[in-house]
Amino acid sequence: MAPRTAPDVLGKVTLITGGEEFLAERAIRTVVDAVRSADPDADLTETVGAEVGPGALAELTSPSLFAERRAVVVRDLPEVPDDGVAGLLACAAQPPDDIALVLVHPGGQKGKGMLDKLRKAGVSEVKCEAPKAYELPRFAAAEMRRAGGRIDDEAAGALVDAVGTDLRALAGAAAQLANDFSGEAITDEHVRRYFGGRAEVKGFAVADAAISGQLAPGLEQLRWALNNGVVPVLITSAFASGLRALARYTTAPRGLREGELAREVGVPPWKLRSLRGQARGWGPSGLADAITAVARADADVKGASGDPDHALERMVLAVAEARAGR
């Protein structure tokens, strides 16, 4: 059988910059999928910047005995040691033809000099910054088109109001609407019909209860939400968003004014009051355990487990246990 045509990403470098995790992971997946569309047996190799010392990247991109084509992903680019930068830049300037090299920089000033040199080398950059609040309806509309659906401007705004600002949750909601109302243009009426009556028990309400240590109310609201058709991915996304905000709150510099603290944490000022109360029950190790539990549940509800409801119950219990354990 003749080999498939190689995708555009082979022999090239994709530089992913910005702190929006959902968009960055999607950009990585797009490159990997492109490589595997040309060669289903293509390898995926992942590493972190701290491991990219002298000669490391040359070894990672050397010919493989097991696959003709490969995707090589280097995360946490700012952590590349000084003695590994030259090798990385040399590989980026002339990557092997059968390799798709993906470099991921989460944003910030660290490693800016390296970024500038990579850009001058002509890499393909994908910027993954979180959209502004006023851009979220446009994002929701784009996600609807991506899922094969259509939505008008009023409905896109209503979807943001119903689901919230978490991009993963918005993308999941748009995909669900496009699937459930296939062939129809989504209107404000569709959104109200789909999400109506759930405002008091959306994913964020379940997450807030569990993160606050209210296990019984959290489980009760989870059962109510599931019985009323709340999409499981919206619940895991809400937990992830809540725990990320709590982690940023607990590590924020001391002495900031309320507005400065809200910007540092990435939440509206009114949210700081609940974060302040939640933070008194959490420690660093507990937060790490809870985030791990949510990541596992997120994978389960997306297909890794045959019982998403049970996966969500385990998540709520694990988060409560992590809080108690600190």
Per-residue pLDDT at 200: 37
* Spatial CA neighbour of 236 closest among 228, 247, 225: 225
Distances (CA, A) of 57 to 5, 48, 90, 107, 119: 26, 11, 10, 22, 18
Helices then strands, counting H and E runs in the chain, come out as: 15, 7
- 124-127 vs 99-105, strand pairing mode: unpaired
Three-class DSSP category at 175: helix
Residue ranges, the chain, pLDDT below 50 = 1-6, 197-201
Where exactly are the structural domains of the chain?
Answer: 12-127, 132-195, 197-326
Per-residue pLDDT at 31: 93
Q: For the domain bounded by 12-127, which CATH number is listed?
A: 3.40.50.300
Per-residue pLDDT at 305: 67
CA distance 2 to 258: 63
Q: Which residue has the tokens 């968009």?
A: 23
- Could you tell me the two tokens for 118? 């990579």
Per-residue pLDDT of 218-254, as tens digits, reads 898 898 888 877 788 888 988 988 899 899 999 999 8
CA distance 267 to 247: 12
Sheet with strand 70-75: strands edge to edge: 43-48, 70-75, 99-105, 12-17, 124-127
Contact 170, 136 (CB under 8 A): yes
Alpha helices, H only, 70-196: 82-93, 112-120, 136-146, 153-163, 167-180, 188-195
Q: For the domain bounded by 197-326, which CATH number is listed?
A: 1.20.272.10
Per-residue pLDDT at 324: 67
- Could you tell me the two tokens for 185? 């243009």
Q: What is the dihedral of CA 238, 244, 246, 248, to 10 degrees?
A: -150
Alpha helices, H only, 181-214: 188-195, 203-211
Instruction: Quickly name the fold that domain 132-195 has.
Output: Helicase, Ruva Protein; domain 3 (1.10.8)
Distances (CA, A) of 3 to 42, 45, 56, 70: 12, 22, 30, 15
